[in-house]
Chain A
Amino acid sequence: MSADHTRDPCPIVILNDFGGAFAMGVIGGCVWHGIKGFRNSPYGERRIGAISAIKARVPVVGGNFGVWGGLFSTFDCSVKAIRKREDPLNAIIAGFFTGGALAIRGGWRHTRNSAITCACLLGVFEGVGMMFQRYMAWQNKPIAPPLPDQQPLQ
């Protein structure tokens, strides 16, 4: 599998992933906590309730997303540098380390379970991605050009 040229080269892509994941978390968190704060507020205070819920919780959601994405990208780059190849196993190993690193303060069992869960999740993602890639390749498969109409022999 060749390198993906739509993304930047390795050390600097970590910043990009950090920012991208953070932005995703903030924008998604705005929608999520906006709706949640709106629904959980009493009538008459629903708009202000939504705004205060967004203010209180969205930066945290963004931070969680950002740290996850950045750590994953860091581990992905490290694994690429050590293994010197790019394949789906990279993402799974990186997911394993990410899950473990984020849960490391919860004790050995929690760390292990979290690492394995994260690796499985990334494995599923990679599998779905590969299936999708296969499907796209199958859809865009090369087709032989139609033969010109044969002239009747005279």
Chain B
Amino acid sequence: MASWLGFGGSSKKEDTTQQTSQINNNLGFDPSSISDVSSIISTPGGLDTSRLHPLAGLEKGVEYLDLEDENLTQLEGAQGLIPSRGWTDDLCYGTGAVYLLGLGLGGSYGFFEGLRNIPANSPGRLRLNTVLNHVTKRGPFLGNTAGVLALTYNLIDSTIDGLRGKHDAINSIAAGAISGALFKSTKGLKPAGIASGLMAGAAATWCGIKALLA
């Protein structure tokens, strides 16, 4: 603009030298000295991830088990052992873990029971089948029972959480008592009461373990 009006030519030249030195400072190299792109890329420090975008946190690498913050549950006291996105996560993880635990315990019990019950002087195929039959009899039975109990417990626990607006040990124990009573409700009052007490105890134990680990 200045040159167009016919004066101030010298100040413009000063301006451009200042600009180029500023650019050199920002980039770490002199753009006018570079003729092709590959030399920029191969410049050491030219493509440093921490300098490219400091806010993106690229230098931290892959973060394991890092869920989006806004997706995590905001319920008071619900920040458990693993990040949870709400009641469906609690339900799936709780049920899956308890089911697997039951399956493993029942399966190992059946395994040893099968080992004890192997008929004498039997061929190898019969031995294998005896053990497998006992494992598949005990494992799924205990796993299914434990899984159904855990499913009921988690559903009731999440419901109470939602109603009370927070997640604590009282909810867990109450949910355990209700689910135990519901599980044995067709057998009569006394078995229902016993099952209720057992489940409440199990829930209380779990809360204690969680408090110790967290």
Max chain B Cβ within 10 angstroms of own Cβ: one of A23, A26, A60: A23
Which residues 1-54 in A have Cβ within 8 Å of B in the complex? Answer: 5, 8-9, 12, 14-20, 22-23, 26, 51-52
> In the complex, what residue of chain B is closest to A18 when comparing beta carbons?
B96
User: Interface residues, chain B, CB within 8 Å of chain A?
Assistant: 64-65, 67-68, 82, 88-89, 91-97, 99-100, 132, 140, 143-145, 147-148, 151, 186
Q: Is A134 an interface residue (CB 8 A)?
A: no
On chain B, the residues within 8 Å of A15 by CB distance are: 92-93, 96-97, 100
On chain A, the residues within 8 Å of B89 by CB distance are: 16
Q: Is A95 an interface residue (CB 8 A)?
A: no
Give the A-B contact count at a CB cut-off of 8 A.
75
Q: Is A59 an interface residue (CB 8 A)?
A: yes
On chain A, the residues within 8 Å of B94 by CB distance are: 19
Known: A55-B186, A58-B148, A59-B145. A66 touches B92 (CB 8 A): no
On chain A, the residues within 8 Å of B151 by CB distance are: 22-23, 26, 62
B92 touches A23 (CB 8 A): yes
Max chain B Cβ within 10 angstroms of own Cβ: one of A17, A19, A23, A60: A19
A16 touches B144 (CB 8 A): no
Known: A23-B151, A105-B132. A51 touches B144 (CB 8 A): no
Known: A60-B140, A62-B147. A22 touches B96 (CB 8 A): yes
A interface residues, how many (CB within 8 angstroms): 26
Q: Is A88 an interface residue (CB 8 A)?
A: no
B95 touches A18 (CB 8 A): yes
User: Interface residues, chain A, CB within 8 Å of chain B?
Assistant: 5, 8-9, 12, 14-20, 22-23, 26, 51-52, 55, 58-60, 62-63, 66-67, 70, 105
Task: List 6 interface pairs A-B (beta carbons < 8 Å), by A numbering.
Answer: A5-B68, A16-B96, A17-B92, A18-B99, A19-B95, A51-B186
Q: Ordered nearest first, which 6 A-B pairs have the shortest CB separation?
A: A19-B96, A18-B96, A59-B144, A19-B95, A19-B92, A15-B96
On chain B, the residues within 8 Å of A66 by CB distance are: 96, 99, 143, 147
CB distance from B30 to the nearest CB of A (A): 38
CB distance from B193 to the nearest CB of A (A): 19
On chain A, the residues within 8 Å of B93 by CB distance are: 15-16, 19
A16 touches B147 (CB 8 A): no
A9 touches B186 (CB 8 A): no
On chain A, the residues within 8 Å of B67 by CB distance are: 8
Known: A51-B186, A63-B140, A70-B100. A26 touches B148 (CB 8 A): yes
On chain A, the residues within 8 Å of B132 by CB distance are: 105
> In the complex, what residue of chain B is closest to A66 when comparing beta carbons?
B99
A8 touches B143 (CB 8 A): no
A9 touches B64 (CB 8 A): yes
A78 to B214, CA, bound (A): 30
On chain B, the residues within 8 Å of A62 by CB distance are: 144, 147-148, 151
A23 touches B97 (CB 8 A): no
